[in-house]
Amino acid sequence: MNVAAGPTPDAPVIREVVLVTGISGSGKSVALHALEDAGFFCVDNLPPELLRDFIRLEHGRSSRRIAVAVDVRSAGSLPHLVPMIEQLRSEGVAVTSVFLDAATDALVRRFSETRRPHPLSEASASHAQVAHSKGDRLAEGRRVLVDAIELERQLLAELRDLSTVIDTSELRPAQLRAWIAQLLGGAAGRLTLVFESFAFKHGVPLDADFVFDVRVLPNPHYIRELRPQTGRDADVAAYLEAQPDVAEMLAQIEAFLLRWLPAFEEDQRSYLTVAIGCTGGRHRSVYLVEKLAGRFSDQAATLVRHRELDGRDE
């Protein structure tokens, strides 16, 4: 079978192909289950060299949406995946590549909780020294795991650059499922602006293209009546709207995005994530995200994420 051959002219065009990739432990299984629940036909750990043939096979069967998970277990074939994605897109196949990432500390914690080995642990362990005491073994085990994670980041770096990135470091499974469903509901072929609020105390989102720090603005947290509310509540919004600095910050962020949005559209970007951070991720950042999403709703497709709020009641 000639893997490099393109689809025949008479083959029906598949409506959507979602490629789910990312760092081990970042939530690919959760994402794939979410896609399956949304009606996608899902295949886990498909060898990259079989992707084109699989898509061609689906052409002949139906126009159902498909999702394919590819990870570092297919490391030997990964160098061929990026040019394959680019070629498929040039042939009219709508390939959406979603890359799940997470901070190294979060990944180490997850592997420790599940007690599952990292797929590259053996490769990293081959360079480790033999440890004798229990403490040495624990320290060596952590070092091997961190080394495996960093090696995986290197192997997947090019694929990450080609993909829409979701940082799962602070996400619950319910949040990730919701974000996957939201992400794939965007308008195809049009730049989607993702506005995301977050708390700096929990780290900056790894998927952010732009980060704006609004901790210098007046904080509703210090007003007793407003503390339990969020930036989506009318009382908090009224308080922030009365602050000149808030209005100025909002206007400047809006002007920056208006200036550069056409350039990102011309660059054929599918998603642009604008992260707004404050101390707790509940008041100022949430308010600004809601306002910006409203102001840009007629400029581009918009998605709203509140990392510290979404899914907390699930």
Tell me the residue ranges of DSSP E strands in the chain.
17-22, 41-44, 66-69, 95-101, 164-167, 192-199, 210-213, 271-278, 301-306
What is the rounded average pLDDT of the residues 73-98?
81
- pLDDT surpassing 70 at residue 123: no
Model pLDDT, residue 89: 84
User: What confidence tens digit (pLDDT) does each residue in 32-80 have?
Assistant: 999 988 888 899 988 888 888 888 887 666 667 889 998 877 766 677 7
The sign of the dihedral angle between the CA atoms of 298, 256, 99, 307 is negative
Residue 146 or 115, more confident = 146
Tokens for 40, please give them: 């996608």
User: What confidence tens digit (pLDDT) does each residue in 149-190 have?
Assistant: 999 999 899 889 889 999 999 898 988 988 888 887 654 557
Query: Can you tell me the distance from the alpha carbon of 198 to that of 273, in angstroms, rounded to the nearest whole number?
Result: 12
pTM of the model: 0.70
Residue 50: which residues within 8 A CB-CB, separation 6 or more? Answer: 3
Residue 213: which residues within 8 A CB-CB, separation 6 or more? Answer: 200, 277
What is the rounded average pLDDT of the residues 98-111?
93
